[in-house]
Amino acid sequence: MELIEEIIPELEDMKRYPKELYAIGDRDLLRRPKVSIVGTRRPSSYTKQFTYTLAKALSSRGVCIVSGVAMGVDAISHNGAGVENTIAVVANSLDIRYPAVNRSLIEQIENSGLVLSQFPPIFKATPWSFVVRNELVVALGDILIVTEADEGSGSMRSVEFAINMGRDIFVLPHRLGESKGTNQLLELGLAKPIYDIESFSNRYGVVPQNTSIERDDFFYFCQTSPTLDEAISKYSTRVYEAELDGLIAIENGLIHLV
């Protein structure tokens, strides 16, 4: 367990920047494009399927998935992303793995992903610490996705944080009478629906056909379709090496992952 001392720019959008932030795992994930996914602890079969598919589609494009490692939507999001592509934010100290039902998942994320907490050792989760956890989950993501939520739920409190931080909010479309919280967000114009997971995920780049390319700064830079001049200025000869290795293509002066 380490105390993070460097400033994380996204967290400056919180009401108060965390006094302390503890970490176990790969802190390089903090520098990746990130999407926060939250939702009910008792998702429908529909929500389970498309939460998993959505998290997997985003992570395949190099996006890190952030969630709260609770039962239901949170755990599905972490699993869909793959433990090496996810950040779990907990409502207790890092020497406690809670909830117990997700103990194995938390351990896997500690070993391959990243687990964060604002709480010092031996701190047990309380009702208010879940609210603190939710704010941090929202702040870390570029956007917030709520895949299923009832009115008045903790996930809807996360929506309030997202609105205050200026984060865009997206939801899965549901039938009338289901997921009343997210349907209300659509009715009020506070969220946008995700109708096609692949087209939605494509805003973050493409799924590279060549799986040998390292997911480093160069990978994420190429996902933005930079110009050749921009790429050479930033990465010099690596651009041509990547082209020779068949990792990127240069078309009409723009760089694309292959």
Spell out the SS3 assignment of 127-192. HHHHHHHHHHHHHHCCEEEECCCCCCCHHHHHHHHHHHHCCEEEECCCCCCCCHHHHHHHHCCCCE
Checking if the pLDDT of 211 tops 80, the result is: no
pLDDT band with cut points at 50, 70 and 90 for residue 233: very high
Looking at residue 80, what is its pLDDT?
Answer: 98
Quote the DSSP letter at residue 60: T
Percent pLDDT > 90 in the chain is 82
Q: Which residues, at least 6 apart from 252, have a Cβ–Cβ distance to it below 8 Å?
A: none
CATH of 2-204, one of 3.40.50.450, 3.10.560.10, 3.40.630.30, 2.160.10.10: 3.40.50.450
Looking at residue 51, what is its pLDDT?
Answer: 98
Sequence spans of domains, the chain: 2-204, 217-257
Write the pLDDT tens digit of every residue in 12-63.
999 999 999 999 999 999 999 999 999 999 999 999 999 999 999 999 999 9
Position 227, amino acid: T
Q: Pick 221 or 77 by higher pLDDT.
A: 77
Checking if the pLDDT of 246 tops 90, the result is: no
Checking if the pLDDT of 158 tops 80, the result is: yes
Q: Pick 179 or 219 by higher pLDDT.
A: 179
pLDDT band with cut points at 50, 70 and 90 for residue 245: confident
54 touches 194 (CB < 8 A): yes
Position 43, amino acid: P
CA distances for 198 relative to 115, 205, 225, angstroms: 28, 10, 18
Prediction pTM value? 0.91
CB crowding 71-93: b at 16 or more within 10 Å, else e: ebbbbbbbbbbbbbbbbbbbbbb
